[in-house]
Amino acid sequence: MLNKTIIFSLGLLFLINCNAQKNKTSTKVNVDGNSTMTTINNKDGEIIYFNEGENKFLKEYQMNVTFKGISEDSRCPKDVTCVWAGVAVAEVEVMGTTTRPMTLHLSSIDNKGRNYNKSTEFNGYTISLVDVQPYPGAAEGTKALNGNYKIGITIKKAGENPTTK
């Protein structure tokens, strides 16, 4: 009888602890290169920032997101006149808690003819690229930026407009 009471009490404590953890809300803070702080609440539509190579588990979406790097950056450098504005393509690896990893190629522009997409769907969510920094300069070009890129993405339930809040 004593064993049953102890097991029941431990089970009850585990359930109470589990419920307390679900009610916690977290605020993540990123510091970019300019020492400005950006608060991320990770609600639908909020911008989530990643440094190149950074990995975050986003509990609200039950997915792990890794910014692998920029596979293409043909954006027109500052102070240069170009015929085409160019595009930056970010490689973002996503993995749900019940899915295998998948690499998404998110672009800074939408151009279906060239297979550039700002948004894509994964695991019931629409993931969109909204910011790629730094912008290339004419003198240094894009090679000097390797390893120093930062991106901002938004995650919304699939079917919602990914560019508006």
Q: Which residue has the higher pLDDT, 92 or 143?
A: 92
Does 44 have pLDDT greater than 60? no
Flag whether the pTM goes above 0.75.
no
- DSSP states of 28-73 as a string? EEEE-TT--EEEE---TT--EEEETT-EEEEGGGTEEEEEEEEEEE
Q: Where are the domains of the chain?
A: 27-157
* CATH number of the structural domain 27-157: 2.60.98
Q: What is the pLDDT of residue 144?
A: 64
Q: What is the pLDDT of residue 142?
A: 61
Relative to beta strand 37-40, strand 48-51 is unpaired
140 backbone φψ class: left, alpha, beta (φ>0; ψ -120 to 50): alpha
Bridge partners for 51 per DSSP: 150
Q: What is the pLDDT of residue 35?
A: 33
